[in-house]
């Protein structure tokens, strides 16, 4: 469902990706590992269309994503790709339910049905009692689970996560790792996860190591 072909990316004179090729099957959980500076986050940003490659293709569900116009690409990303980052990036002025609903509102979903879906997702993630709480009133683990719910609200086929447990203690990190695997079993999402947590990487279907801008 995801294919990257000869991805290259430089920032000024610094060549970060040097021709990366990767294929991910539908429903697979892939962990990308490697030292800092290996190009992991840059690759993830290109796979999620948050940045554009200097060379190469990203194909999702058979579509060459960068062949689309800017508007088409933004709409495609909103419908098909969910993101979870190391920092939850929740909007501080909105409560948990509103934060989760945000991508659905951008996609033009009907408010009542969207609120019902968001509530069900938050219930599934153990946040049923936190719907009206602002991000500052949530624990670190609760904030990150809210971010996961937000990533899933549009039912994307592909979920990309960049060090999602990097700011969590070991207990919350372990719970989040198991949550990803449970969601894959239940909802059939495909996950590509950048992580330094080797225990979590070992739980994935496949580990992909990057070194010096290439997949080893």
pLDDT value for 173 = 85
- In tens, the pLDDT along 30-81 reads 999 999 889 999 999 999 999 999 999 999 999 999 999 999 999 999 889 9
* In-domain check, residue 33: yes
Are 88 and 135 a contacting pair, CB within 8 Å? yes
Handedness of CA 122, 127, 128, 129 (dihedral sign): negative
Look up the domain containing 72 and give its range. 25-54+62-207
Handedness of CA 45, 158, 117, 113 (dihedral sign): positive
pLDDT value for 3 = 96
Instruction: Give, rounded to a whole angstrom, the gap between the first and last alpha carbons of the chain.
Output: 21
* In-domain check, residue 18: no
Are 201 and 26 a contacting pair, CB within 8 Å? no
- In tens, the pLDDT along 176-189 reads 888 888 888 888 88
* In-domain check, residue 134: yes
Residue 160 β-bridge partners: 83, 192
Give the residue, 215 or 88, on which the prediction is more confident.
215
Residue with tokens 């940003």: 45
Q: Is the pLDDT reported for residue 85 higher than 80? A: yes
pLDDT value for 99 = 96
* In-domain check, residue 68: yes
* In-domain check, residue 215: no
Domain CATH code at residue 151: 3.40.50.300
- In tens, the pLDDT along 86-138 reads 778 899 999 999 999 999 998 888 899 999 999 999 998 889 999 999 999 99
Per the structure, the count of domains in the chain is 1
Residue with tokens 């909103």: 78
Judge residue 101's burial from the number of C-beta atoms within 10 Å of its C-beta, 0-12 exposed, 13-18 middle, 19 or more buried. buried
Confidence class for position 165, pLDDT limits 50, 70, 90: confident
* In-domain check, residue 216: no
pLDDT value for 42 = 95
* In-domain check, residue 13: no
* In-domain check, residue 184: yes
Six-digit token string for 71: 């508007």
Against a cut of 0.85, is the pTM above it?
A: yes
Beta strands in 37-157 (DSSP E): 55-60, 63-64, 81-85
Count of positions (residues) in the chain: 216
The CA distances from residue 18 to 40, 67, 107, 194, 215, in Å, are 12, 21, 34, 18, 9
């Amino acid at each position: 469902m995801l294919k990257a072909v000869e991805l290259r990316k430089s920032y000024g004179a610094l060549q970060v990706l040097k021709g990366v090729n990767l294929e991910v099957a539908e429903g697979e959980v892939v962990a990308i590992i490697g030292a800092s500076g290996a190009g992991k986050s840059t690759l993830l940003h290109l796979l999620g269309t948050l940045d554009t490659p200097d060379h190469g293709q990203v194909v999702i569900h058979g579509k060459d994503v960068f062949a689309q116009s800017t508007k088409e690409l933004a709409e495609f990303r909103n419908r098909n790709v969910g993101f979870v980052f190391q920092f939850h990036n929740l909007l501080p002025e909105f409560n948990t339910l509103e934060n989760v609903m945000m991508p659905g509102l951008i996609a033009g979903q009907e408010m009542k049905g969207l609120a019902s879906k968001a509530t069900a997702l938050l219930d599934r993630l153990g946040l049923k009692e936190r719907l009206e709480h602002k991000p500052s009133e949530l624990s670190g683990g609760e904030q990150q689970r809210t971010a996961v719910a937000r990533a899933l609200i549009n039912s994307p086929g592909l979920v990309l996560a960049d060090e999602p447990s990097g700011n969590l203690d070991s207990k919350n990190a372990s719970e989040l790792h198991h949550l990803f695997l449970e969601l894959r079993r239940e909802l059939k999402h495909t996950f590509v996860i950048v992580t330094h947590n080797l225990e979590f990487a070992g739980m994935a279907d496949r580990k992909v190591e990057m070194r010096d801008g290439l997949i080893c």
